[in-house]
Structure 1
């Protein structure tokens, strides 16, 4: 009996598909179902329907607002810095290869390592405040991670510092694809640096901008390590994001059903943001 040519490929795919179903999709589906229950991880779960979602929109709105503010600051900041670095290190500077490597180093280091280094720097008695006091700027010294009006900004700055080199590479590929002839022709026609950037370079960088924006948006929504290492979500929940909120509700408060509901909303938000970015990228290509 002869087998169909399609039988052999499925025979190779089947073991991986079964493992994926058992180890990834199955637990994910069970976790999604627990979002509709009141479960503490010890007793039998009880079905509560949409109550967990309603409770979150009632008491967790500040976490959503903080996540959106952090995401907006990070997306704008990291893409602006990355684009600036790419433009500055694109062609003319002799040491550009060394500088590119130096700017990329933080991106390949563990976020926890970077966060703990910056936590030491931004500590009340850390090097930053000592530097300000030593240069006669003691009035500017403050607990950067211990007050609400600076802690969230400090987290964003640390993230931008770490990942701007990664976004530099994205924009560098786009900048190097811009033909010199176009820029030279615009220069001959009397266009200044800003005019050449606005009318030639930036439109040709739209695919890179879409990719950089999509990646940074997803990273911002999934943020967890840096916040937990720098502030632990404090002070008084002032830097809590959706990721840290899910962790605290599950492993600190023991509200696994409620945390699963918030995690489900987080996944939906990330998927929606990614879908919008992908559709925007396709539209620009068209």
Structure 2
């Protein structure tokens, strides 16, 4: 009897909560939140559209005109492009552009990869060396080019060292020699781009599993075999990024050429970028310069797309 009363009292005082669940909160409508995100990105989108796409579209339109930069103009169709491919100096400028682009990509990537592999090991001075190799990237291209211009002068440090070493026959006016001027520009460009490639490859090497290299070493693979069959396949994305960015930057080289040679001697170092500046701003042929700029833009897009397709195809195969 007492037990029954206690159980009934307990049932009254402490009611059971079985089956009582909290309702989940109502989901927020994502429309307003997403619209708020667009507000944050809107200034950047406007700048990209205005500076890049709108300006490129307007420049592309003037490529089909004879506008001098002032006053009225007439639409001339493809006459500017016919003049470009009929002018031997412009064909030579196109050749110099491709030479500097591919030469800088090959040399800077090979040297950057070699330095990255060397600094990837455990060295006490690797952080200092990384900073020293990367420093030319953050320096002004004009400032460094003027320093190299002093080095390559006829009475500059390079020729002084050659004469002191008994190699005076090799001394020459490097920047005034039509044969060697383009090579001096290439040296300066490669020197300034090595650090950029090195940083990309070091990021790729950091993702290479150490266990795989150790397993290959245990199986008897030497250093060169481990590099070709383990390291290179693992850093293919880094290779694609470094070569694509290097090729795009190489095709539009301008600062180093203007500071070192100004496109000379005798247009030996002229490129499409320097010809755009010369025609549009020095000679007042804005329509002709816009046609050269449009041609350079198309070349950059074609090579960038091809490089990306090739890189994606190799990664898919692997």
TM-score under structure 2 length normalisation: 0.84
Tell me the residue number matched to 1:56: 84
Call closer, same or farther: CA 1:155–1:195 in 2, change over 3 Å.
Answer: same
Paired position in structure 1 for 2:107: 77
Displacement of 1:189 after TM fit? 1.6
Aligned Cα root-mean-square deviation (Å): 2.1
Q: Look at both structures and tell me which one has the larger radius of gyration over its CA atoms.
A: 2
Deviation per CA, 1:132-173: give whole Å up to 9, x if none: 111211111111111121111111111111110111010011
Instruction: Tell me by how many angstroms 1:96 deviates.
Output: 0.9
C-alpha separation in 2, matches of 1:198 and 1:18: 45
* Among candidates 228, 236, 259, match of residue 258 of structure 2: 228
Answer yes or no: is 1:29 the counterpart of 2:57.
yes
**Pairing partner for 1:114 from 141, 144, 151:** 144
Aligned to 1:152: 182
Q: Does 1:201 align with 2:231?
A: yes
Aligned counterpart, 2:210: 180
Which residue does 2:75 correspond to in 1?
Answer: 47
1:244 maps to what in 2? 274
2:66 pairs with one of 22, 31, 38:
38
- CA-to-aligned-CA distance 1:24-45 (integer Å, 9 cap, x gap): 5444322211111111123411
Q: Does 1:92 align with 2:92?
A: no
Q: Distance in 1 between matches of 2:124 and 2:233?
A: 27
**CA gap 1:235/1:182 in 2 versus in 1, 3 angstroms:** same
User: 1:5 matched to which residue of 2?
Assistant: 31
Q: What's the CA shift for 1:218?
A: 0.3
Distance in 2 (alpha carbons) for counterparts of 1:235 and 1:136: 28
Counterpart pick for 2:157 among 120, 127, 133? 127
Distance 1:187-1:248 versus aligned 2 partners, 3 A rule: same
In terms of mean alpha carbon deviation, does 129-138 or 9-18 score higher?
9-18
Q: CA deviation at 1:46?
A: 1.3
Gaps of 5+ in 1: none
Give the deviation of 1:89 after TM superposition: 0.5
- SS of 2:175's partner is coil
- Give the Cα separation in 2 of the matches to 1:152 and 1:114: 17
Among 244, 260, 265, the alignment partner of 2:290 is 260
SS at 1:130 equivalent:
helix
Please state how far the C-alpha of 1:107 moved relative to its aligned partner.
0.5
Q: Distance in 2 between matches of 1:214 and 1:92?
A: 29
1:176 deviates by: 2.0
CA contact (8 A) 1:67 1:242 kept: yes
